[in-house]
């Protein structure tokens, strides 16, 4: 039935068009193509290359990772802009949704770059284990991030399912300080209808509950990241201020 308050009808045709549009947006804003990642999955860092990373100072490695993370976030910003209805939101609400949602989507997308057979992630052009990030001094965070990637990979999401899940992670009406919560909620409801429609089509309705369970893990990973950043910026305030990417500082400090 037509919902008078919903900016657009929730007919099946509309839902399928919305699904296709989100899948296209995901594909068009993916930092790495799946085929590329598959082809490179056995390209591991050599012992010497690993040693080079582990010999970096903590501030060098933090800066390096902040740059890489910021690159990934920018792809997520482009993804958000292409989600139907997102640009119709107020500018403050667009910022609010991305302020926390961008890192969460980066973490979801990271599972595409993860090889569960040897627990390695694609970074700087090759695959490396948590050992690669030793000099960050954030062992617990990296283990938690790798564990999360494992758990998402275990769901064996298709690219289409990942696209929908990413949009749901981003369009979160529970974020604090939203000015038009109702509008975000309506957008979210259509995305939920899209996801259940897609999972029903794929005969994988049990996935919906498992996906929603991931959201709380995502939030704890993001808080742990901010906690680590706080720890680091107390030790190296000048580094964060002077050489960290400005977008990273805007989002996370």
Residue from 30, 63, 96, 233 in contact with other proteins (CB under 8 A): 96
- The DSSP output letter for 119 is T
Q: Quick one: which segment of 8-16, 73-81, 157-165, 195-203 binds other proteins (CB under 8 A)?
A: 73-81
Residues present in the chain in total: 253
CA distance between the termini of the chain: 45
* Contact call for residue 100 and other proteins (CB under 8 A): no
CB 195 within 8 A of CB 146: no
Which residues in 152-211 contact other proteins (CB under 8 A)? 177
Give the CA count within 13 Å in the CB-facing half-sphere of 236. 16
d(CA 237, CA 239): 6
Q: How far is the CB of 192 from other proteins (least distance, A)?
A: 24
d(CA 9, CA 120): 44
Choose between 81 and 150: whose C-beta lies nearer to other proteins. Answer: 81
Q: How far is the CB of 63 from other proteins (least distance, A)?
A: 17
Choose between 140 and 179: whose C-beta lies nearer to other proteins. Answer: 179
Tokens at 89, concatenated: 């939101």
**How remote is the C-alpha of 133 from its chain's centroid?**
19
Q: Please state at what angle helix 91-110 crosses helix 181-201, rounded to 10 degrees.
A: 30
Q: How far is the CB of 99 from other proteins (least distance, A)?
A: 7
* Contact call for residue 40 and other proteins (CB under 8 A): no
Residue from 14, 65, 68, 74 in contact with other proteins (CB under 8 A): 74
The binding site for other proteins (CB under 8 A) comprises 74, 77-78, 81-82, 87, 91-92, 94-96, 98-99, 177, 246-247, 250-251
């Amino acid at each position: 039935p037509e919902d008078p308050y919903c900016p657009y009808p929730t007919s099946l045709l509309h839902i399928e068009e919305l699904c296709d549009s989100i899948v296209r947006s995901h594909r068009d804003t993916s930092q790495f193509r799946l085929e590329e990642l598959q082809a490179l999955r056995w390209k591991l860092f050599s012992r010497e290359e690993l040693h080079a990373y582990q010999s970096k100072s903590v501030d060098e490695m933090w800066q390096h990772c902040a740059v890489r993370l910021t690159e990934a976030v920018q792809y997520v910003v482009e993804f958000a802009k292409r989600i139907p209805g997102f640009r119709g939101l107020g500018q403050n609400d667009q910022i609010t949704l991305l302020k926390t949602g961008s890192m969460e989507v980066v973490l979801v997308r990271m599972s595409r770059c993860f090889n569960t057979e040897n627990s390695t992630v694609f970074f700087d052009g090759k695959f490396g284990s948590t050992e690669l990030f030793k000099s960050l001094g954030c062992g617990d965070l990296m283990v938690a991030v790798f564990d999360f990637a494992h758990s998402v990979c275990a769901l064996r999401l298709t690219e289409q399912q990942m696209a929908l899940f990413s949009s749901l992670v981003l369009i979160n009406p529970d974020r604090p300080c939203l000015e038009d919560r109702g509008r975000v909620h309506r957008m979210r409801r259509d995305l939920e209808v899209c996801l259940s429609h897609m999972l029903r089509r794929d005969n994988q309705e049990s996935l919906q509950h498992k996906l929603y369970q991931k959201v709380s893990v995502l939030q704890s990973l993001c808080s742990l990241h901010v906690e680590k950043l706080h720890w680091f910026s107390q030790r190296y305030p000048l580094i964060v201020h002077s050489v960290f990417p400005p977008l990273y500082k805007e989002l996370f400090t």
